[in-house]
Amino acid sequence: LSLSLSLSLSLSLSLSLSLSLSLSLSLSLSLSLSLSLSLSLSLSLSLSLSLSLSLSPPLPPLPLPPLSSLSLPALRDNRIQLNRSTGTELSITIGNVQLSDEGEYTCSIFTMPVRTARATVTVLGVPDKPQISGYEDTVQEGGKVTLTCTSSGSKPPAKLRWYRNQEELTGKEEGKDGGKG
Report the C-alpha gap between 28 and 36 in whole angstroms: 25
Tell me, what's the pLDDT at 138? 83
How far is residue 12 from each of residues 9, 40, 75, 116, measured CA to CA in Å? Answer: 10, 14, 54, 62
Between the alpha carbon of residue 148 and those of residues 86, 144, 161, 169, the distances in Å are 55, 13, 11, 14
Tell which residue, 34, 36, 43, has the closest CA to residue 15. Answer: 43
Pick from 152, 154, 159: which is nearest to 173 by CA? Answer: 159
Q: Which domains does the chain have, with CATH numbers?
A: 71-121 (2.60.40.10), 125-135+145-165 (no CATH)
Q: For residue 167, what pLDDT is reported?
A: 93
Contact 8, 56 (CB under 8 A): no
pLDDT of residue 110: 80
Quote the CA–CA distance of 124 and 97 in Å, as a whole number.
Answer: 10
Band the pLDDT of 164: cuts 50, 70, 90: very high
Report d(CA 65, CA 59) in Å as an integer.
17
DSSP state of 141: T
pLDDT score for 47: 46
More confident residue, 90 or 162: 162
Query: Which one has a higher pLDDT value, 171 or 46?
Result: 171
Over the stretch 94-148, which tens digit does the pLDDT of each residue have?
888 888 889 999 888 887 888 888 899 999 888 889 999 987 778 889 988 889 9
Quote the pTM value.
Answer: 0.43
pLDDT exceeds cutoff 50 at 177? yes
Read off the pLDDT of residues 25-84 as tens digits, 9 standing for 90 and up.
555 555 565 656 565 655 554 444 444 445 455 545 544 444 444 444 445 788 888 887
Cα-Cα end-to-end distance for the chain: 84
pLDDT computed for residue 69 by the predictor:
40
Task: Give per-residue pLDDT as tens, 6-17.
Answer: 555 565 666 666
* H or E element at residue 148: strand 148-150
